[in-house]
Amino acid sequence: MIAVAHPTTTWYLLLSALLFAIGVVGVLVRRNPLVLFMCIELMLNAVNLSFVAFAKRMGDIGGESTVFFVMVVAAAEVVVGLGIVVAILRRKPNATTDDLSELKG
């Protein structure tokens, strides 16, 4: 019989750090606004994973409740931000993040 090792908090935190790093690289390297939003969401989900890992480790529900509020704020951010980006991309299909500076008043 093969013994299966259960993932520890360290594994979840390493996965969270890897996902966050991928998101940061995506934000710094990519210029497409839609990809930029996806990378920001990846970073938020990486932080959520670390909150849940710490909450499980400490036996407290505070981490899970924080994740719930972060997800609600992220959903609102996606709705507003994605609406603006889609409106800009419809008007100018090859728009990059540098073109978003036109929104300044």
Rg over CA atoms, the chain: 18
| Domains of the chain, first to last | 9-93 (1.10.287.3510)
Q: Smallest Cα–Cα separation from 37: which of 82, 71, 4, 104?
A: 82
| Predicted local confidence at residue 103, as pLDDT | 65
- Match 């991309």 to its residue by tokens: 89
DSSP string, 46-104: HHHHHHHHHHHHHT-SHHHHHHHHHHHHHHHHHHHHHHHHHHHHHHSTT--GGGGGGG-
Task: Using a cut of 0.85, tell me whether the model's pTM lies above it.
Answer: no
| Predicted local confidence at residue 20, as pLDDT | 97
| Predicted local confidence at residue 12, as pLDDT | 92
Q: How far apart are the first and last CA of the chain?
A: 67
Average predicted confidence (pLDDT) for the chain: 86
43-68, pLDDT tens digit by residue?
A: 999 999 999 999 988 888 888 888 99
